[in-house]
Amino acid sequence: MMRDHYVFNNGRLKRKDNTVYFIKDDGQKQPLPVEQIRNLHVFGEVDFNTKLLNFLSQFDICIHVYNYYGFYAGSYYPRAKSPSGVTIVNQSAHYLDHYKRMFLAASFVQGAVHHMLRNIRRYKEKTAHYVEQIESEVLKLQDCRTIQEIMGVEGRIRKLYYQSFNDILNQPFVFEKREKRPPRDPLNAMLSFGNQLAYRTVLSEIYRTPLDPTISYLHEPSTKRFSLSLDIAEIFKPLLVDPIVISLVNKRMISQKHFDYLEDEVVYLNEEGKQKFILAWEDRLKRSVKHRTLKRQTSYRYLIRLECYKLIKHVINDEVYKPLKAWW
């Protein structure tokens, strides 16, 4: 079964005997079966060379690197295996056409809002007033005439959504406001860490399709970022990341001891905290539902790939895009 592998220790990744070994600084060797690895996430100080990269490329394995504090640093991606000039041309055309871009941008926000409301409706006795306000805001999407206006609506909705966390989560975790760069409290640290995992997972699924990850619709394309992964991740963050944060806090599986502080301002998950979050993350990605169209069990991870395929069908004018809205 294909899975992601996470490296927290310091050491060296090395190809040997047609497989990969992780050699820790103390000399211990751990084999990593390449046939079962989808992505490698490197959190420790790890050395590797081009011989390893060439070998991993044969198995379409991506490497994602994070710094000491767990913030994303960069990725290595093998050469694209399924390029399609037709897809990229049409993907670009939908960005250049204002109305086509507006349709897709609004669709991503609608999918995100559906899952936000799904989360807080589970606590409807405490969050009914937030639901009403969010439903009122989402109606304004149909009156938006620019991407900036759509982003404004999305920002107000997300602010209300995060405010509801104080009525959902157990103390002592309190949400004051969303702070990303850098996170300044444990809740923001968990959300930022989880969102990074979501962006990398979405990017890995985009890589396995003909889509260009730099051409996006809700987020403005720019240099040095894969903005399409930000677009698609909007739909999946409240479906994947936020329920993990709520569950870990309310079940008291994570506490203040799982966070470290840098100069009393920047907060980040320590190694034990990251491992707890990643275990919950991998468990959620493996969950499956009976897909209404495919008529078979489909994992949450594969739902991301299906979202990419739906976007491809839309840009080549095969089928109108409809964002995922969890029905289960």
321 within a domain of the structure (yes/no): no
Last residue of one domain, picked from the residues 76, 102, 129: 76
Same domain, 118 and 233: yes
Q: Long-range contacts for 129-138 (Cβ within 8 Å, ≥24 apart)?
A: 130/160, 130/161, 130/163, 130/164, 130/167, 133/160, 134/160, 134/161, 138/109, 138/110, 138/113
Task: Give the pLDDT score at 265.
Answer: 79
Domain span at 297: 85-315
Which residue, 201, 61, 199, is CA-closest to 48?
A: 61
Q: How far apart are CA 157 and CA 136, in angstroms?
A: 9
Same domain, 48 and 90: no
Last residue of one domain, picked from the residues 17, 45, 76: 76
Task: Give the pLDDT score at 158.
Answer: 95
Enumerate the known binding-site residues for Mn(2+). Answer: 154, 219, 234
Tens of pLDDT, residue by residue, the chain (328 residues)? 688 999 999 999 999 888 898 999 888 888 888 888 989 999 989 999 999 999 988 888 989 999 888 888 888 888 776 678 899 999 999 999 999 999 999 999 999 999 999 999 999 889 999 999 999 999 999 999 999 999 999 999 999 999 999 999 987 788 777 877 788 889 999 999 999 999 999 999 999 899 999 999 999 987 668 899 999 999 999 999 999 999 999 999 998 899 998 877 789 999 999 999 999 999 999 999 999 988 899 999 999 999 999 999 999 999 999 999 999 8
Same domain, 49 and 189: no
Q: Which amino acid is at 93?
A: A
What's the structural domain count of the chain?
2
Task: Give the pLDDT score at 19.
Answer: 85
Same domain, 124 and 208: yes
Task: Give the pLDDT score at 84.
Answer: 81
Enumerate the known binding-site residues. Answer: 154, 219, 234
Q: How many C-beta neighbours within 10 Å does residue 267 have?
A: 21
Phi and psi torsions of 205, nearest 5°: -75, -40
Q: Which residues does 77 contact at the CB level (< 8 Å), separation at least 6?
A: 62, 207
Q: How far apart are CA 38 and CA 20, in angstroms?
A: 13
Same domain, 16 and 138: no
Last residue of one domain, picked from the residues 76, 110, 132: 76
Same domain, 273 and 239: yes
182 within a domain of the structure (yes/no): yes
Work out whether strand 37-42 and strand 62-66 pair parallel, antiparallel, or are unpaired. Answer: parallel
Task: Give the pLDDT score at 179.
Answer: 76
Rounded to 10 deg, the angle between the 242-250 and 271-286 helix axes is 120
Q: What is the CATH number of the domain that holds 11?
A: 3.100.10.20
Q: What's the whole-model pTM score?
A: 0.90
